Amino acid sequence: MTDPAAPAAPAAPAALPENLSLNLPDALRDRAAALDADDPLAPYRARFAPSDGLIAYLDGNSLGRPLAATRERLASFVDGPWAARLIRSWDEGWMDAPTELGDTLGRVVLGAAAGQTVVADSTTVLLYKLARAAVDARPGRRVIVADTENFPTDRFVLQGIAAERGLELRWITPDAEAGVTPEEVAAAVGQDTALVLLSHVAYKSGYVADLPAITRIVHDAGALVLWDLCHSAGSVPLDLDADGVDIAVGCTYKYLNGGPGSPAFAYLAAGLQGEVRQPVQGWMGAAEPFAMSAAYEPATGIRQLISGTPPVIGMLPMRDMLALIEEAGMAAVRAKSLALTGFAMEIADEHLAGVHVASPRDPERRGSHIMLDHPDFRRVVAEAWERGVVPDFRPPQGLRVGLSPLSTSFTEVANGLWLIRDLLNNQLR
């Protein structure tokens, strides 16, 4: 396994597919090369498994690339704790994996002290469990506040809970490119509000919400706030404890590179753990799982959020990425993220005629992806995938450029967006 203390030199890029000839102008090629030469995180790119024929991966905010170290970790798991120790491994680490890995995740990327983060379930399941628990913890309050621009899962889960509990959903309709503001939240909450659910980074525009200010506003109204961290965990620094966050949920397959279907995580502030009780009462969240009791008694602390058997194998890949992020430092990751998205915006402004940048220009309000709008992007994205450039399409006409800082080069961004330009201009058809 590669020594994490000594990044190797960047690997050679994959050869261009035969049907692609990039014709970047010299000025753009030289600028990208200079940015790569000055990038202190450039050596980390060699830690990721190669993808043959890939020119530019611009979808790291949907699925992070695998680390080469994960290949060895998975193989050694099969031969080691699984084959050699079998069921004994539950007593030798597997049972504590959700909270042990949760503590690591909390320390490295969430700004959370130990005992407040757990890895389990999927994002949808954890959103349901925590949102249901939150509204039940505020009896007599009949309103849930959310926004119309949030990811479908968040909206769908809340619609189901509102119907199930006889609650009212109060919708904020923000500027799609600006995101939910503290002023909009202040106008929506009141003494009838039980819960506010928002995304820290908007999944379309990449807008970064003012988490500390909004959290204070929600608390002043006596409600709880649940933050969706799917597009910020691992790319935007967080300080959940210092900012007084109540509850948070996020996935691990984006900037935490846990792989397809890797388990989600939940944060529940220590001060709420005796007050908030999640509704899916499974045996692994019981105080004594192997007592096989007749009645459910929840475990104390963060373990009460667990319901079923922990996804031990699914937790393995993110261990490598968390180690990499901790080594690089979240401040450096954030700096590279802003440099990448800023560079992508420059290219869009200068070279993508007719394309609208539908993301914040202010770097403080921008996550690690940007949204570009053009009526022909559905076709362009499909054709780009066939040529080794992989962005993301979001209806009705958005091309999302997701840039994972530790695995993405500036040259990769330039090559990918230049091919997008050629496809828009019908030069490669």
Its sign, for the CA torsion 427, 345, 153, 181, is negative
Rounded distance between C-alpha atoms, residue 56 and residue 354, angstroms: 22
Q: Token pair for residue 308?
A: 């079923």
For residues 27-55, one letter each, b for 16 or more C-beta atoms within 10 angstroms of the residue's C-beta and e for the rest, the string is: ebbebbeebbeebebbebbbbbeeeeebb
Catalytic member of 203, 253, 255, 265? 253
Q: How many residues does the chain have?
A: 429
List the beta bridge partners of residue 196: 145, 225
Rounded distance between C-alpha atoms, residue 113 and residue 327, angstroms: 19
List the beta bridge partners of residue 198: 227
Helix axis angle for 26-37 and 410-424, nearest 10°, is 150
Mark whether 204 is an active-site residue: no
Mark whether 107 is an active-site residue: no
Catalytic member of 65, 254, 387, 421? 254
Amino acid identity at 302: I
How many Cβ atoms are within 10 Å of 198's Cβ, its own excluded? 25
Mark whether 48 is an active-site residue: no
Side-chain-facing half-sphere of 222: CA atoms under 13 Å = 11
Mark whether 254 is an active-site residue: yes
Q: DSSP letter string over 282-334? A: -GGGBSSGGG--SS--BPSGGGGG--S---TGGGHHHHHHHHHHHHH-HHHHH
Number of H helices, E strands in the chain: 11, 13
Catalytic member of 65, 366, 400, 421? 400
Mark whether 377 is an active-site residue: no
Q: Token pair for residue 63?
A: 């699925």
Helix axis angle for 330-351 and 410-424, nearest 10°, is 30
List the beta bridge partners of residue 48: 67
How many Cβ atoms are within 10 Å of 6's Cβ, its own excluded? 7
Amino acid identity at 96: D
Q: Annotated catalytic sites, by residue?
A: 151, 228, 253-254, 400
